Structure 1
Amino acid sequence: MRPLVEQDIRNSFVNCSKGEAKRVSLPRDLDERPWDDLDFLGWRDPGAPDRSYLVTEREGGLVGVTFRFPSSRRGFLHRSMCSLCLTTHPGGGVSLMTARKTGAAGREGNSVGLYMCTDLACSLYVRGKKAPGPGSRFEESLTVEEQIARTRGNLSSFLDKLYA
């Protein structure tokens, strides 16, 4: 992914108003992000623990999505799998992220959801740049490049639902 600046990020949001996009709390470490290893920029809002954001490149432009997710924690012995990168996590490591749909459907309150790594580090897990913990990544016959393509495909399928 190419490095992003604040204005690019704020202009990318497709499922919130321009005013809401102006109030989004952006990450302060944009210059330090491993852009070459990211399929999307994802972050949680430190001031609103039930909100997270994702920005990705799609069809030559940027698409930003605002999410809400429950703050409840599951038991440590419970494991869940991320729908994007297929990494499993104990406890609250995977959350159901819900996003308001775009357009009239979103204004009517319709949303779509996706189980995702709560820390939004899917790109780093797939590439082996961040360790989710023992037993969290299955041994696969797919190459890393194929796993990256699958993760991007899963994200693209979710974005299709956002626009539907």
Structure 2
Amino acid sequence: MRALTDADVRASFVNAEAEELRLIEMPHDFLLVDWDYLDFFAWRDPQTPRRGYVVLEQEGRLCGVLLNTNGPGRTRSGMCNICHTLQPGDQVALFSARRAGERGKRGDSVGTYICADLSCHENVRLAHPLAPNEVRAPGQADMRLDGTRRRMHDFVGRVLSEG
């Protein structure tokens, strides 16, 4: 992902009102982000815990999506629909995003279960412990990264979708 400025990020949101854009809190380590390492940039708002953000390049343009959650709601384990990581239930939350355009103004939204701290990009890079006599397949990490990237792009595509 190319390096972004605060202004780039704020200008990218497709489903946020002017007041919501004004209230966006960038992560505390924003100036230290290793952009070459990321396929998308996601963070929870440090001031408003029920809000999260995802920014990625979609079809050649920068696209930001404002996410809302009521927090973790499960007591058992859950799986993130973006990185396919199985985690304790309190570490996976249902996030919803108001659709872009007229559909969003009418209240239409899409939702999916995502890692509660929006750390999907880091989670797929962690090596899973191997069982005895298990061998890690070459390229397995790359496949997980590609799948995570694709699923996040698909989710943002649903936010942008007119149909």
Q: Give the TM bin, normalised by the shorter chain.
A: 0.7 to 0.9
TM-score, normalised with respect to structure 1: 0.85
Distance 1:28 1:110, change over 3 A: same
**Does structure 2 retain, via aligned residues, the 8 Å contact 1:87–1:125?**
yes
**Does structure 1 retain, via aligned residues, the 8 Å contact 2:96–2:111?**
yes
C-alpha displacement at 1:40, in angstroms?
1.3
Paired residue for 2:121? 123
Q: Which residue type is aligned with residue 141 of structure 2?
A: V
C-alpha displacement at 1:73, in angstroms?
4.5
**Does structure 1 retain, via aligned residues, the 8 Å contact 2:73–2:93?**
no
1:95 is matched with which residue: 89, 93, 96? Answer: 93
1:140 and 1:111 mapped to 2: Cα distance?
Answer: 39
Gaps of 5+ in 1: none
Identical-pair percentage: 38
C-alpha displacement at 1:109, in angstroms?
0.4
1:147 is matched with which residue: 137, 144, 157? Answer: 144
Paired residue for 2:26? 26
Aligned residues: 156
Distance 1:134 1:89, change over 3 A: farther
**Does structure 2 retain, via aligned residues, the 8 Å contact 1:102–1:162?**
yes
Distance 1:74 1:121, change over 3 A: same
TM-score, normalised with respect to structure 2: 0.86
Q: Which residue type is aligned with residue 88 of structure 2?
A: P
Q: Which residue type is aligned with residue 156 of structure 2?
A: L
Which structure's CA Rg is the greater one? 2
Paired residue for 1:2? 2
Segments ≥4 residues shifted beyond 6 Å: none
SS in 2 for 1:86: coil
Alignment root-mean-square deviation, CA: 2.1
C-alpha displacement at 1:140, in angstroms?
7.5
SS in 2 for 1:28: coil
